[in-house]
Amino acid sequence: MCSVVGYVGKNLSRAFVIEGLTRLEYRGYDSAGFACIHSADNSIMYTKSQGGISNLLRNFETFPIDGYVGMGHTRWSTHGAASVENAHPHFDCNKKISIVHNGIIENFHELKKMLQKQGHQFKSQTDTETVAHLFESLLKEHKNLKSAVLALVNLLEGAYAFTLMLADYPSLLVVVRKRSPVCIGKGEDEMFIASDLLAFAGKTNKVLFLPDECYAFVTRNSVELNDFNGVSLPVYFQVITVPWTADLKGGHEHFMLKEIYEQKKVIQDTVHNNKADENYLWKKLGLTRLQVQDLQVLKIVGCGTSWHAARVAQFFFESIANVRTEVFLASELRYQPFFKETNSVAVAISQSGETADTLEAIRFLRQHGMHTLAVVNVVSSTMVRETQGYLPIYAGPEVSVASTKAFSAQVAALYWLAHKIAFEKELITERALNAAENELLVVAEILESTIEKYKNDIIKKHAERYAQAPYIIFLGRHVSYPFALEAALKLKELSYIFAEGFPAAELKHGPLALVDTNVPVIIFSVLDPVLYPKLVANAQEVKARGAHLVAFAFEGQQELIQLADVVFTIPHVNPLLGPLAMTGLMQFFVYEISRFLGRPIDKPRNLAKSVTVE
């Protein structure tokens, strides 16, 4: 999940490249760099920094390099520490070839050994630098740029998108793609290159998504496109207008808080916009009505928070639509036996639509003949292009690395989809379908009102206590168990406090040994009348061991309320929507703890917003 941004055009490149990298900094911020062609002698000038863009900007104060051909990079480390030496751009021996790269060159070890035997001197531990030296060697051998590029790409294994800047070809950039996304924006006498079109949103709406296993020679007013066999391809710029607003936090201290508060509107938009389009729903998903009526199995894949949303939605599809649902971690799916079944559909859930593990899972599922569809937030993403249909969640740009509004939009969209499938199968009436849509709108109100109800007197007051905890345990049952997993992930990635989510009944089978008076236990209640008493019994087990118990309880659940040391009460909703009703409060609870600890809320250490490497 690095970012590549390039420019060739009538203007000096640095301003665009830095702005583009800033917009894409969500993809990684361990280090940054910029390179450009010196218009006086066509030499390559460059500067790099550890940390994010702000550190790189300081370099320009003393070294204000710029040029009409330029490129930049922000890095999320895969090979080699987050240091200046490993920051991109990387070079060949003579600094006449420069590269910025997103992805992983899987065979770089053997290539590097071969090049070192030829006398190439390496300066970094990265896989990327190997490409620059290899290209140096091939360019000498082939003399011709096109044949050197073809030789290069046929030697590289892995998933990659990189841009080459060449002192001997000072008016162009070479853009190469294999699996990792990269796109080109066409302006007036200028071309923009980026890992994500967000980088040039507002500057042009003419976009070329580089096809897989292709490369392009890009000048200020031309793009020459070829595949990895050297076959020339037509160049077609789609017109795509990406909603882009200045990176405003809406008066909030962090993007995360802004996005927590956007959730009420996001759920409303998810429902209203998908309902407005419902007559084209099956067509948009690439399914016929008959296929929906005959649907028996869903296989859902996702990562992180999206996987948690899938686990919550499993209850929706099975109990509302009567469709057996299997949920897989995208990164695990390909390495276990796979059983294709008739009347089955695969669903990928992803906020960014660029998560490499999920993309690879989709490719695996398609190879097994599955119909694949994506539930995504970014409809211009690779995942939409690589599946046969998609359901947008309309959450709007989610900037904070920790996913909040995307989670609630995913849960809402999947709840609605489950009812649409049930209606198509004639399992529910139109009245029930409309009731479900209204339920979501009611839950959206509750999600926000519970934050307002508790944000001062309890959450801020207790944040300090929980911030000192050695670790925190989250408990749930049935539909609130995957929600406990999501709460644990939020706490870990934002506060760096270890946390784990358990099914409440599982505690007595071992993890109860973790509980003592220093360990806060957070329990998410359920409305199911059979399960609720059992959950209370689980709460009694932890209280008996002296735990500090925090209960997210529903109104009237006196047994649980009286047991807990701290209580948040939630109005009654459809039992399956209990977690969604609690989502805002849970996120705010974690946010306050992390904020108390002074963590970089929107950009936690070691993470990136879109994980575009496996």
- Interface residue list for ligand AGP (CB under 6 A): 303-306, 350-352, 355, 358, 401-403, 493, 610-611
Burial class from Cβ neighbours inside 10 Å (0-12, 13-18, 19+) for residue 114 reads middle
Q: Of all residues in the chain, what percent are helix, strand and coil, respectively (each to 5)?
A: 40, 25, 35
* Residue of 96, 299, 603, 609 with catalytic role: 609
Q: Of the two residues 152 and 362, which places its CB atom closer to ligand AGP in the complex? A: 362
Q: Of the two residues 77 and 130, which places its CB atom closer to ligand AGP in the complex? A: 77
Q: Of the two residues 129 and 398, which places its CB atom closer to ligand AGP in the complex? A: 398
Euclidean distance between the first and final Cα of the chain, in Å? 9
Shortest Å distance, C-beta 402 to ligand AGP: 4
Shortest Å distance, C-beta 260 to ligand AGP: 12
Q: Please report where in the chains the tokens 């995208």 appear, as a residue.
A: 330
Characterize 156-166 residue by residue with b for buried, 16 or more Cβ atoms within 10 angstroms of its Cβ, and e for exposed.
Answer: bebbbbbbbbb
* Residue of 2, 183, 214, 303 with catalytic role: 2
Shortest Å distance, C-beta 601 to ligand AGP: 12
Three state DSSP letters for 305-324:
HHHHHHHHHHHHHHHCCCCE
Shortest Å distance, C-beta 315 to ligand AGP: 19
The runs of H, that is alpha helices, within 457-571 are 461-467, 480-495, 531-544, 558-563
Read off the tokens for 228: 């990895």
Output 315-319 pairs: Cβ under 8 A, ≥24 positions apart: 315/478, 315/479, 315/576, 316/414, 316/415, 316/418, 316/576, 317/414, 317/418, 317/421, 319/576
Residues 6+ apart with CB under 8 A from 489: 304, 305, 308, 499, 501
Shortest Å distance, C-beta 126 to ligand AGP: 23
Residues 6+ apart with CB under 8 A from 362: 301, 346, 348, 372, 374, 383, 386, 387
Could you tell me if 606 and 77 are in contact, meaning their C-beta atoms sit under 8 angstroms apart?
A: no
Shortest Å distance, C-beta 259 to ligand AGP: 11
**Does the annotation mark 609 as catalytic?**
yes
Q: Of the two residues 118 and 606, which places its CB atom closer to ligand AGP in the complex? A: 606
Helix 145-153 vs helix 128-142: angle between axes, to the nearest 10 degrees? 140
CA-based torsion, 469, 475, 480, 483: positive or negative: positive
Q: Of the two residues 487 and 536, which places its CB atom closer to ligand AGP in the complex? A: 487
Residues 6+ apart with CB under 8 A from 337: none
Residues 6+ apart with CB under 8 A from 405: 259, 260, 262, 263, 266, 395, 396, 398
Shortest Å distance, C-beta 90 to ligand AGP: 26
Could you tell me if 191 and 8 are in contact, meaning their C-beta atoms sit under 8 angstroms apart?
A: yes
Q: Of the two residues 384 and 560, which places its CB atom closer to ligand AGP in the complex? A: 384
Shortest Å distance, C-beta 597 to ligand AGP: 17
Q: Of the two residues 92 and 493, which places its CB atom closer to ligand AGP in the complex? A: 493
Q: Of the two residues 305 and 314, which places its CB atom closer to ligand AGP in the complex? A: 305
**Does the annotation mark 2 as catalytic?**
yes
Closest CB to ligand AGP: residue number? 304
By annotation, the residues acting in catalysis are 2, 609
